[in-house]
Amino acid sequence: MAEPFTFVVDADGVLRLAPRRSEHVVCAGGEAVLSAGEMSFREEPGQWTVEEVSNQSTGYCPDVSSWPAVAKALDRIGIARPSGFTHEVVFRGCRSCRELNIVREEDFICVFCGEDLPRRWNVTERDR
């Protein structure tokens, strides 16, 4: 499998790819982009296909619900794709200590301070 790329879907719905290690923003929030994450491709005869795609982006921490923007951006440029993220990352900001958490196995507890994490994605609210 090829090295994955980082991607963003910008505010105009355009897919932008970059080499994986080019991302250094720290959770800027999801507002500037429609989605972001990592993506790898495989080539089939006459057709590029997304092999794996995730919303794993420590730059933007997008919600898993951003998938439709990714699907639309890929459809627009004719790249075959799966029906959803092949790997989903659940980002939540803690309202108590304000740390960013990656929720695993539906365990909505802050790993830093033990407070409950909100069920709804809230990364853009984190610093307000």
> Which residues bind to Zn ion, rule: CB under 5 A?
94, 96-97, 110, 112-113, 115
CA-to-CA separations, 18 to 6, 7, 23, in angstroms, rounded = 5, 6, 8
Three state DSSP letters for 37-89: EEEEEEEECCEEEEEEEECCCCCCCCCHHHHHHHHHHHHHCCCECCCCCCECC
Shortest CB 114 distance to Zn ion, Å: 7
* Angstrom distance (rounded) from CA 122 to CA 100: 10
Shortest CB 37 distance to Zn ion, Å: 24
Shortest CB 110 distance to Zn ion, Å: 3
| Nearer CB in complex with Zn ion: 33/110 | 110
| Nearer CB in complex with Zn ion: 14/97 | 97
Q: Are 53 and 70 in contact (CB under 8 A)?
A: yes
| Nearer CB in complex with Zn ion: 73/110 | 110
The encoded tokens of residue 15 equal 């897919």
Shortest CB 117 distance to Zn ion, Å: 8
| Nearer CB in complex with Zn ion: 52/115 | 115
